């Protein structure tokens, strides 16, 4: 029997390795044609799977529009983009958290404090909840520079070991939210391919020890 393959959007890079390992334990071997590592679409006809290699930030987009049925995305991206996808399983991989950091002993400026971040939505939601009106300075990387050169009072960024902060003389002020990678599903695929998807979710949840009841 051959059916249309289940399309999975996978983040390139480090998360791919971890996710592929989980998939392997769940019975889906995605590492067999690694030699074609420049290819963005990998076919696994014998498992009826198709893998799309995407930038981690874009996985959610592919899944929302239905070009991928399933995706693996960080909770940080899900929080920031607030897209219409189903979040069905916590894979528990790539654990880290989003935190507020800055120079030590530096109180938040009273007038229009500035926050540099690549998570504008997460940052403004957080400070609004704290009753604090702030101004966001969007950056795409090396966020840690911002407080050092006086561009911002604080940064909001991903912390995994805390080493980057430390080496740049920054301290963590508050932890905002814990982050892991999640299995996400397109709402239509969730219905129309429910058999294949449920099977994958069940297998994966056994591997990650999450009782999906």
Partner 1 sequence: MAKRLMFEKPLGMRDTLPFFYNQKKQARELLTEEISNFGYMFMDTPILEYYETVGEASATLDQQLFKLLDQQGHSLVLRPDMTAPIARVAASQLKRAEFPLRLAYDGPVFRAQQTEGGKPAQFEQVGTELIGDHSSYGDAEVIALLIRSLQRAGLQDFQITIGHVGYVRCFFKEILGDDDPALTEELMSYLYRKNHVGYQEAVKALPLNEEAKRALMGLLKLRGEDEVFDQSKSLARNQECLQAINELKQLYKILKQYQVEQYVSFDLNLISHMDYYTGILFEGYAPNLGSLLCNGGRYDQLLPSFQLNASATGFAIHLERLVEALAKQSNGDERIGILVDDDTFADGLKQAQDLRQEGKSVLLQHVDQVPDLQQFKAELVEAIDLTTGGGHDA
DSSP string computed for 145-210: HHHHTTS-SEEEEEESSSHHHHHTT-EEEEEEEEE-EEEEE-HHHHHHTHHHHHHHHHHHHHHHT-
Residues 152-191 that bind partner 1 (CB under 8 A): 182, 185-188, 190-191
Residues 187-206 that bind partner 1 (CB under 8 A): 187-188, 190-192, 194
Question: Does 87 contact partner 1 by CB under 8 A?
Answer: yes
Question: Does 129 contact partner 1 by CB under 8 A?
Answer: no
Question: Does 210 contact partner 1 by CB under 8 A?
Answer: yes
Phi first, then psi: give them for residue 124, nearest 5 degrees.
-70, -35
DSSP string computed for 74-96: EHHHHHHH--S-EEEEE---S-E
User: What 3-state class would DSSP assign to 102?
Assistant: strand
Residue among 48 and 164 whose Cβ is closer to partner 1: 48
Contact with partner 1 (CB under 8 A): which of 4, 55, 121, 175? 4
Edge-to-edge strand list for the sheet holding 114-117:
135-138, 114-117, 154-159, 96-102, 171-179
Q: How far is the CB of 83 from partner 1 (least distance, A)?
A: 9
**Cβ proximity of 89 and 205 under 8 Å:** yes
Residue among 86 and 173 whose Cβ is closer to partner 1: 86
| 14-22, 33-41, 86-94, 116-124 -> range binding partner 1 (CB under 8 A) | 86-94
Residue among 31 and 192 whose Cβ is closer to partner 1: 192
Q: Which residues bind partner 1 (CB under 8 A)?
A: 1-4, 64-67, 84, 86-90, 182, 185-188, 190-192, 194, 210-213
């Amino acid at each position: 029997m051959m059916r249309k393959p289940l399309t999975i959007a996978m983040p390139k890079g480090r998360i791919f390795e971890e996710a592929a390992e989980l998939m392997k334990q769940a019975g889906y071997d995605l590492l067999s044609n690694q030699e074609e590592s420049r290819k963005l679409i990998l076919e696994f006809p014998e498992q009826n799977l198709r893998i799309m290699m995407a930038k981690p930030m874009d996985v959610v987009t592919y899944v929302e529009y239905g070009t991928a049925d399933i995706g693996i995305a960080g909770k940080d991206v899900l929080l920031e983009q607030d897209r219409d996808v189903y979040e069905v399983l916590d894979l528990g991989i790539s654990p880290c958290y989003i935190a507020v950091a800055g120079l030590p002993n530096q109180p938040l400026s009273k007038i229009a404090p500035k926050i540099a971040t690549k998570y504008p939505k997460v940052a403004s939601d957080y400070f609004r909840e704290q009753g604090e009106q702030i101004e966001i300075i969007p950056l795409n990387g090396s966020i840690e520079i911002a407080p050092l050169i006086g561009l911002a009072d604080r940064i909001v960024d991903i912390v995994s070991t805390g080493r980057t902060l430390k080496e740049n003389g920054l301290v963590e002020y508050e932890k905002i939210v814990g982050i892991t990678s999640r299995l996400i599903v397109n709402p239509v695929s969730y219905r129309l391919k429910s058999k294949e998807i449920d099977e994958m979710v069940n297998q994966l949840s056994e591997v990650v020890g999450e009782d999906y009841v």
